[in-house]
C-alpha cells in the first residue's frame, strides 16, 4: 500500500499543502496523513506518528520532499529504522529516492548528512555574525511587537473582537495575540490570589 504524508509549517501555507496532496494523489497514495505543524516541534507531529504506526509490511511511506518529513539526520534515521522494523520503505518524490533499494537508503543517509552539515555551518556563521555585530555595538534585538501592542490587543478583545481579527487589524500573528491574552489572564489570576 502507498501511504502519503504531507506537512506544512503554518496554517498560512495552504497552497503548499494542496500541492503536496496533488503530488501524492498522482503517484497513487491510497491513504494520506496531513498536518500543519513546525518541523522543529517533533513531539507535536501526531499525524506523522499515526502514519508510522499505520504502515505495514510491504507498504511504502511517500513524501514529496525530505524537509517535509525529518528535521535532522538522527530524526530521519529514527524514521527509517521504524519503517525497516515493519518491513516498509520510504520514497521521496523530489529526490527520486526509494529506500526499498540499498542504493536509495545510502543516498538518503548521505544527503541527509549533507543537509544537516549545511544547516550547522549556516547557524555557526549566524552566531559569528551576531557576535561581531554585538562587539561593534550594532546588534539590536528585534522589538517585541506583540508586547508593544498589548494595550491595543486587550482593548480590542474587551470589545469582543476575536483573536484572528485582532491579529489581522494589528499586523500580528494569532499565536502572539493568544500569548498577550494568556499573560493578561495570568496576571489577573495572580492579583486575585493575593
User: Active-site positions?
Assistant: 9
Instruction: Show Cβ contacts of residue 1 under 8 Å, excluding neighbours closer than 6 positions.
Output: 30, 31, 56, 58, 59, 60
Alpha helices, DSSP H, located in the chain: 14-26, 46-54, 73-86, 102-135, 145-148, 150-158, 163-170, 174-193
Dihedral, CA atoms, 23, 25, 30, 34, nearest 10 degrees? 60
Q: How far apart are CA 88 and CA 161, in angstroms?
A: 49
- Contact assessment for residue 6 and residue 63, using Cβ atoms and an 8 Å cutoff: yes
Amino acid at each position: 500500500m502507498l501511504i502519503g504524508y504531507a506537512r506544512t509549517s503554518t496554517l498560512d501555507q495552504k497552497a503548499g499543502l494542496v500541492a503536496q496532496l496533488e503530488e501524492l494523489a498522482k503517484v497513487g497514495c491510497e491513504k494520506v496523513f496531513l498536518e500543519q505543524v513546525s518541523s522543529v516541534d517533533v513531539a507535536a507531529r501526531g499525524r506523522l506518528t499515526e502514519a508510522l504506526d499505520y504502515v505495514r509490511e510491504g507498504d511504502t511511506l511517500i513524501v514529496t520532499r525530505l524537509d517535509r518529513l525529518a528535521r535532522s539526520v538522527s530524526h530521519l534515521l529514527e524514521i527509517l529504522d521504524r519503517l525497516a522494523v515493519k518491513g516498509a520503505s520510504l520514497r521521496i518524490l523530489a529526490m527520486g529516492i526509494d529506500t526499498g533499494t540499498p542504493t536509495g537508503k545510502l543516498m538518503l543517509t548521505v544527503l541527509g548528512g549533507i543537509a544537516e552539515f549545511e544547516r550547522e555551518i549556516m547557524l555557526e556563521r549566524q552566531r559569528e555574525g551576531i557576535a561581531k555585530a554585538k562587539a561593534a555595538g550594532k546588534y539590536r534585538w528585534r522589538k517585541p511587537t506583540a508586547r508593544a501592542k498589548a494595550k491595543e490587543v486587550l482593548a480590542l478583545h474587551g470589545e469582543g473582537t476575536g483573536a484572528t481579527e485582532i491579529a489581522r487589524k494589528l499586523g500580528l500573528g494569532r499565536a502572539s495575540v493568544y500569548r498577550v491574552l494568556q499573560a493578561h489572564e495570568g496576571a489577573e489570576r495572580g492579583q486575585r490570589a493575593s
